[in-house]
Structure 1
Amino acid sequence: MRFEIRCKLEKKVISTDYRRKILSFFKGSLEEYNIDIKKAIYDDPERRNFTFSVYLPVEKIEKDRVYLKNNYIKIFLSVENMMEALHFLNALIGSKGKKISMDENSFVVVRIHKRLEKEVIRDEAVFRTLSPIVIREVREGKNSWYHDFDEKGLKILKKNTLYNLKDKFSKSLLEEFEIVPIKTKRTVVSFYSSKFPVTLGNFYMKGDKKILNYLYKSGFGSRSSAGFGMLEIIE
């Protein structure tokens, strides 16, 4: 299920590291709604089955601040599991109208509605990123290295994807999985005071439609539940 959450900011400026505050908002809303459900969604699973993106009406970006044309933002949330989606919806409805802190700013949820969720109908599809894709490689000593959407990066992305899906899909289905860039660009984001490269744009994926639908609904790449890797089907 997909939702659009329209929020009104107190001021027309936010930190470039805004994703961590949206993440905190989701966790806090679920905890208020039901602490056991929050733990089941956030604390227990190895891979979480949701992702989100944020639309900002950007006027300009200066250093670590994003200045906005108006004080409304939209959060788009995609949850693969139907029951988890309903829990998210109930938690978000419970947070409606409450003042949520966002560094030196704050916001309130003013509207929540369900959005159209498409379906991959073939064993291939072209996707567009709604939030950037993170390709993260954990190296010796648990240090992270972030890759671009190039030949080496795509190998790491495929390896990570197959590892994350090995308990959900059979080996025979996973063997046919492929990723091909079409038109992508590199940018750099801030997340919890770290900066790393990410990828935006269009790309092609081939694989069983069950796998493609799962990635479309739950997010693609690393840190998908933290506001990265949300996809839209364009072909």
Structure 2
Amino acid sequence: MRFTVTIQLNQSEIPKDRSRIFLSLIKFWLEKENPELFHKLYGSKATIRKDFTYSLFLGDCKFKREIIEIPDKQAFLNLSSYDPGLGIHIYNALLKGKGHIYSYKDLSMCIRDIQLQKEKLISTDVAFFQTMSPCVVREHHEETNRDWFYSLSEEKGRKLFLQNVQIQVVETLPEAKEDAQEMEIEVFKNKEVKVKHYGIEVLANICELEIKAKSYILDYLYKAGIGSLKSTGFGMLKVR
């Protein structure tokens, strides 16, 4: 399930740490519409994989040192879910918020429109994707509880990215364990970007991907997003 949410802002400047702002909008309306699902996704101390992803389009915006200037005061939230049920719940929650004001500090947001988008059918064992939001390669060190981020322009980054994606696939699709090991990922036209995310700068990648895998795995990645932090504004894909 894939849809676009049009959001009107009350001001033309927002903080560069934008992911937490728009995720808070999703969480606010989801908690109001479906408290049980909200608690399942966000209320537990245990981190669970959320098989949805989203990206932001801010129009003719300008990135400055600490803020983003958005002259027309509009943001477009593109959201995709692999699980149709989860997608419907999020869609209904945001629909409930349509026309109402949600405030994050001094920023007020009002959902003006929600439009369903047609999904592409993937029926082959190779697909070409373009990132709609930067994808993240993260290595987490349990002993120090620290994260390291890598570029897809580096061999280590590409190797770790493949490993992370294989783990992601198998966690949601246990039956794909053997097929996931056969997956191949090629990276093209990579551009490294640094994204402010919950107070830290995250190294991320805007690129094109050629992924060879069974069609059902490709379909999953297309709908659920790819890589680390994919349910917090990273890793959304479109078929090229």
What interval of TM-score do these two structures reach, taking the shorter chain for normalisation?
over 0.9
Structure 1 match to 2:12: 12
Residue 186 of structure 2: which of 180, 198, 206 is its match?
180
Q: Which one-letter code corresponds to 1:106 in the other structure?
A: S
Report what 2:139 is aligned to.
137
Q: Distance in 2 between matches of 1:74 and 1:107?
A: 12
Whether 1:158 and 2:176 are equivalent positions in the alignment is no
Q: Deviations over 1:18-43 (max 9, x none)?
A: 11011111111111002102123444
Moved more, 146-155 or 55-64: 55-64
The unaligned stretches of length 5 or more in structure 2 are none
Aligned to 1:79: 81
Normalising to structure 2: TM-score of the pair? Answer: 0.93
Contact 2:41 2:48 in 1 (8 A): no
In structure 1, the partner of 2:202 is 196
Partner of 2:125: 123
Aligned 1:50-61 pairs, distance under 5 A: 50-61=52-63
> TM-score scaled to structure 1, two decimals?
0.95
Does the 8 Å CA contact 1:58/1:66 hold for their aligned counterparts? no
What SS does the corresponding residue of 1:165 show, helix, strand or coil? helix
Shift of 1:194: 0.3
Which 4+ runs in 1 deviate beyond 6 A? none
Shift of 1:141: 1.4
- Corresponding position: 1:205 with 2:208: no
Query: Shift of the alpha carbon at 1:86?
Result: 1.1
Say how many residue pairs are matched: 234
Deviations 1:202-228 (A, max 9, x none): 121111111111011001000000010
Q: Distance in 1 between matches of 2:56 and 2:183?
A: 28
Give deviations 1:55-80, integer Å, cap 9, x for gaps.
01234221110111311110000011
Match of 2:228 in 1: 222
Q: Which runs of 5+ in 1 are unaligned?
A: none
Distance 1:28 1:48 in 2: 16
199-208 vs 58-67, greater mean Cα deviation: 58-67
User: Secondary structure at 2:80's aligned position in 1?
Assistant: strand
Task: Work out the CA distance in 2 between the residues paired with 1:70 and 1:229.
Answer: 26
- In structure 2, the residue matched to 1:94 is 96
Identity within the alignment, %:
31
